[in-house]
Structure 1
Amino acid sequence: MNVLEFLDSPELTPGTFEGDTWEPWRAVLSGAFGLPMDKGRARLFKRLSGGRKAPTSRVRELLVLAGRRSAKSNTSAAVAVYLATIGAEMDGLLDKLKPGERGVVGLIAVDRAQAKVLFRYIEGIFDASPVLSKLVSKRGAESIDLNNRVSLEVHTNSFKAVRGRTMIAALLDEACFYADENSASPDVELYRAIVPSLATTGGLLIAISSPWARKGLMYQKWKKHYGKNSDVLVVQGGTQDFNPTIDPRVIKEALEDDPEGARSEWLGQFREDISDFMRRDVVEQAARVEPLELPPCADTRYFGFADPAGGGKDEFTMAIGHRDGERVVVDVVRGRRGTPAQIVEEYAALFKDYRVSRITSDRFAGSWPADEFKKHGITCDQSAKPKSQLYVDSLARFNSGQVEIPPEDKLITQFCNLERRTARGGRDSVDHPSGGHDDRANAVAGLLAEAATRPANIIFECLDDGYEPEWHPYQMFS
């Protein structure tokens, strides 16, 4: 039984994939598994695959770029169940497992919420089929063990989740949107971890996603393989190409409201208005080798910046730095989550350690940071510039080598992940990618803006209270 017979079987997937609206997915899967096609399906496959020839045997990798509401997750779940049951036996993958070894069909989701959606689809397929449900030997919160020595596992994006497993298939759901605070290229790292895990069995890798910016794994694969004959099949289409039941008025209105966004979400095209803001090598060159934090020096004047957060997933961050000639040295960067009032008390004590009594904060933080810091003897002023402008202003300093930052992976990654976006009127903005964070990078960018207002090489003496500097009768400027 091939994958199309599986999807059309009333005993295995009753009522799930009925009707002509699934014909685009049948064409794609026919090509991926090297199945024969009639003329109509062959024409459809050729259009979705960029004009390449249909494979005559199963491909090594299948990558699908499709618009929203194209049944991507539903299809991923169904193919995963097929590969874990009939497909594993058809391809002889079970024979490649060692005694006592379990093969894994892994599904990787963007986040926990999406992982739950995928898992519910998988559970629904087993629950709807008395034949398939007999194969289940154990169910967990994010896994299903089958009595054929295969397990289906759902994970959030992490290369650690697939290491050490013998995989017979891997399905990457919405791979264009993988994000990780500790990696500038989590999709590529995940792919590199999966390839060895599939090597033993010769298993299939499938990645299905709506497109995003012209970077990352999916874009690299599209650029290299779309429309070209190889064992890597890349297909691309808009929402109506995969799901003709969608009301075209919804897409038309989206295109009128946000052309670039709609091209990505509904037409299945990579966005042209988003690009990387900073080169990774530039950011890495700015990082000192060690230490992570520089201790305060008695003859140095410091300044600080805070990016408050009111809870949730964002970190409450701060940075302390000083001028060294034309260079700005970032001595300390910290970020943490918790009760905002407690964090203010902690950060205020740290600012005082560096004799900083006046700081600047993100302009959208509101008045409460100033009120809280004032309780601890720290004056807090709002930044005159929005976050996006702080990033734009910091770029020249990074490019000219006038910045030294701590050797912290999360901070470096946040700078590397920043995206430049061009609005319809031509105005640029800079921000973190969807699902990402930039709290630490924002604190450093704010600190660099603060440095621009400070003179360099100032000689001063400190008052007895240790917080406010007393200016020397003369100053030396570089």
Structure 2
Amino acid sequence: MNIVDFIESPQLTPGSFEGDSWEPWKAVLSGAFGLPMNSKRLATFDRLAGGRPAPTRRVRELWVVAGRRSAKSNTSAAVAVYLATVGAELDGLLNKLKPGERGVVNIIAVDREQAKVAFGYVAGIIEASPLLSRMVTKKGAEFIDLNNRVTIEVATNSFKAVRGRTLLASILDECAFYRDEASATPDVELYRAIVPGLATTGGLLIGISSPYARKGLLYNKHKRHFGQDSDVLVIQGGTQQFNPTIDARVIEEALEEDPAGAKSEWLGQFRDDVSDFLTRDVVDAAARPSPLELPPMQRQRYFGFVDPAGGGKDEFTVGIGHVEDGCTVVDVVRGRRGTPASIVEEYAALLKDYRISRATSDRYAGQWPVDEFKKHGITVEQSAKPKSQMYMDALSAFNSGQVQIPPCDKLLTQLAALERRTSRGGQDSIDHPPGGHDDRANVVAGLLANSRKSNFIDYGALL
């Protein structure tokens, strides 16, 4: 039984993939698994595959660039179940397992919420089928063990989560939006960790995602392989090409409101209005080897910047710096989550250690931090410049080597991940990518803005 027969089978996926709306996905999967296609299905494949010849055997990698609401997660779940059951048997993958070894088919999601959605689809397909449900030997919150020595796992993006696994297949769900505080390229690191796990079994690697900027793993795969005859199949299509049931008016209205964003989200095209703000090489060059924090020095004038947490997973951050021989030295960058009042008390004590009685905060912080720091003898003024302007002002300092920053992995990652977005009016804004953070990067930009104030004197240069 091939993949198309599997998803069409009422005994295996009852009612899940019925109707003509699933024809585009059947064409994609037929091509990925090297199945023969009729003229209609072949024409659909040709449109989505950039005119490349249809593969005659299963490909090594499948990458699908699709608009929102294209049933990507549902399809990923169905393919995972197939590859863990019927597909593992047909491809002879089970014979490659050592005695006592379990093979893994995993789905890697963007975050925990998306992982729950993906796992729900997997569990739903299995539970709805009497044949498949009888294969389950154990079920947890993120895994399902089957009686054929295969486990289906759903996890969040982390290269550590896949190491040591014997992978029969791996599916990267919404991989264009992977984020990790410890890495500016988590998608690439994950890919590098997965490939060895698939090498011993010859398992299939699949990446399915809406597109984002013209960078990263998904974009590089598209740039290299789309429309090319190879064992890496790249598919690209808009929402309506994959899901014709979506109301066209929704897409038309989105295109009117935000053309660049809608082209990415609904038409399946990579954004051309988003680019890197700082290269990783420039960021790394600005970082001192050690230490993480520089102690206060006598006869040195310091200045501080605070960025209170905006809620959710944001950190409440503080930075301290000074100017030395024309270079802005960032002595300290700290970030914490917790009770805001206790964090203010801690940061106020830290500022006093560096003889700072006046600091600056993000202009959107509101009045609360001003009042709270005042209780501890620290006067906080809101920045006169918005965040994007502070970043733009900081760009020349980074590019000219006039800034020294701590060797903090979170800070370096946030700076390297910053993106420049250009609006229809030509105005640039600087911000973190979707799902990312810039709390520590913000205080560095704030310190650089403060270092240019005339009232801060470089005492080191005068001595």
TM-score range with shorter-chain normalisation? over 0.9
Deviations 1:241-279 (A, max 9, x none): 001111111111111111001100100000000000001
Q: CA deviation at 1:298?
A: 0.6
Partner of 2:413: 413
Counterpart CA distance in 1 for 2:13 and 2:398 is: 56
Q: CA deviation at 1:170?
A: 0.2
Structure 2: gaps (5+ residues): none
Counterpart CA distance in 1 for 2:393 and 2:458 is: 22
Counterpart CA distance in 2 for 1:346 and 1:207 is: 45
Question: In the alignment, is the contact (CA less than 8 A) between 1:109 and 1:157 conserved in 2?
Answer: yes
Residue type of the partner of 1:316? F
Question: In the alignment, is the contact (CA less than 8 A) between 1:311 and 1:339 conserved in 2?
Answer: no
Partner of 1:467: none
Residue type of the partner of 2:95? D
Deviations 1:75-119 (A, max 9, x none): 000000000000000000000000000000010000000000000
> For residues 305-384 of structure 1, what are the structure 2 equivalents within 5 Å?
305-309=305-309, 311-384=311-384
Q: CA deviation at 1:122?
A: 0.6
Counterpart CA distance in 1 for 2:442 and 2:16 is: 47
Counterpart CA distance in 1 for 2:57 and 2:452 is: 62
Deviations 1:9-52 (A, max 9, x none): 11101111111111100110000000001111111111100000
Deviations 1:285-339 (A, max 9, x none): 0000010000000121100000011543100000000000210000000000000
Counterpart CA distance in 2 for 1:18 and 1:380 is: 62
Question: In the alignment, is the contact (CA less than 8 A) between 1:324 and 1:456 conserved in 2?
Answer: no
* SS of equivalent residue, structure 1 residue 245: coil
Question: In the alignment, is the contact (CA less than 8 A) between 1:304 and 1:359 conserved in 2?
Answer: yes
Percentage identity across aligned positions? 73
Q: CA deviation at 1:425?
A: 0.9
Report whether the alignment pairs 1:217 with 2:247. no
Partner of 1:128: 128
Counterpart CA distance in 2 for 1:198 and 1:310 is: 41
Counterpart CA distance in 1 for 2:350 and 2:328 is: 19
Counterpart CA distance in 2 for 1:193 and 1:158 is: 9
Partner of 2:159: 159
Q: CA deviation at 1:476?
A: 4.1
Partner of 1:458: 459
Partner of 1:284: 284
* SS of equivalent residue, structure 2 residue 459: coil
Question: In the alignment, is the contact (CA less than 8 A) between 1:325 and 1:456 conserved in 2?
Answer: no
> For residues 241-260 of structure 1, what are the structure 2 equivalents within 5 Å?
241-260=241-260
Q: CA deviation at 1:458?
A: 2.5
* SS of equivalent residue, structure 1 residue 342: helix
> For residues 223-238 of structure 1, what are the structure 2 equivalents within 5 Å?
223-238=223-238
Runs of at least 4 residues of structure 1 off by over 2 A?
A: 454-459
> For residues 107-186 of structure 1, what are the structure 2 equivalents within 5 Å?
107-186=107-186
Partner of 1:74: 74
| Aligned Cα root-mean-square deviation (Å) | 1.0
TM-score (norm 2): 0.99
Residue type of the partner of 1:411? L
Counterpart CA distance in 2 for 1:338 and 1:18 is: 49
Counterpart CA distance in 1 for 2:270 and 2:173 is: 17
Counterpart CA distance in 2 for 1:419 and 1:384 is: 22
* SS of equivalent residue, structure 1 residue 207: strand
Question: In the alignment, is the contact (CA less than 8 A) between 1:84 and 1:150 conserved in 2?
Answer: yes
Residue type of the partner of 2:220? Q
Partner of 1:465: none
Partner of 2:5: 5
Partner of 2:296: 296
Partner of 1:206: 206
Structure 1: gaps (5+ residues): 460-474
Counterpart CA distance in 2 for 1:168 and 1:436 is: 31
TM-score (norm 1): 0.96
Question: In the alignment, is the contact (CA less than 8 A) between 2:322 and 2:458 conserved in 1?
Answer: no
Counterpart CA distance in 2 for 1:307 and 1:155 is: 32
Partner of 1:472: none
Counterpart CA distance in 2 for 1:141 and 1:25 is: 28
Question: In the alignment, is the contact (CA less than 8 A) between 2:307 and 2:317 conserved in 1?
Answer: yes
Residue type of the partner of 2:458? N
Report whether the alignment pairs 1:25 with 2:22. no
Partner of 1:97: 97
Counterpart CA distance in 1 for 2:268 and 2:118 is: 21
Q: CA deviation at 1:456?
A: 4.3
> For residues 32-51 of structure 1, what are the structure 2 equivalents within 5 Å?
32-51=32-51
Aligned residues: 462
Residue type of the partner of 2:140? G
